[in-house]
Amino acid sequence: MVVQQAEPQLRISSDTQFHRPAVDDGQHLWRIARDSKTLDLNASYTYLLWCRDFAETTIMATIDDHPVGFISAYFRPDDPETLLVWQVAVDAEYRGRRLAASMLDALANRVEGAKWLETTITADNEASMRLFQSFAERRDATLERDPLFEGEHFPDDHDTEYLFRIGPLS
């Protein structure tokens, strides 16, 4: 007789909270970004400034009061109806629970005035592509994808960043 183990719980805990980060949370955003091993890590100072200046367009997830993920975003200065998602990060231990999708939905629901959502993704980042494609589907919005910054634009060895533009948001 083969006994199957129960599937691990992949849902978000009922103790999951989404909130605007405070300046003190900048250190947690930096740690989560660093530990992701996939994001371009900015200086720790950047995350402190981000939590001060862009807290309204940034969301942080905590589970049992432990910081486990964030999305940083801002309204484009030349297009104030477009919210640009800068970074999405989830602690490795909490991946696979739809936390990134839940944070993205919560952020889009909280931020007022966003008619469009943009982000950039490299061609090898399938998880991010799925995240934003499913967001567009949930919002019944179109998704356009075009190269924004090609490899030769970067001073270092960096892949092309494709602009994903989603909208209009409902």
DSSP 24-43: GGHHHHHHHHHHHSSS-PPP
Tens digit of each residue's pLDDT (9 = 90 or more) over 128-167: 999 999 999 999 999 999 999 987 888 888 888 999 999 9
Q: How far apart are CA 119 and CA 111, in angstroms?
A: 16
pLDDT of residue 160: 87
Listed in sequence order, the DSSP H helices in 19-97 are: 26-36, 44-53
Question: What residue ranges define each of the domains in the chain, with the CATH number in brackets?
Answer: 16-167 (3.40.630.30)
Tens digit of each residue's pLDDT (9 = 90 or more) over 21-72: 999 999 999 999 999 988 889 999 999 999 999 999 999 999 999 999 999 9
pLDDT of residue 59: 98
pTM here? Answer: 0.88
pLDDT of residue 13: 57
Q: What is the DSSP letter of 55?
A: G
Mean pLDDT of 94-114: 95
pLDDT of residue 124: 92
Residue 10 has pLDDT above 70, yes or no: no
Band of pLDDT at residue 14, cut at 50, 70 and 90: low
Q: How far apart are CA 49 and CA 57, in angstroms?
A: 13
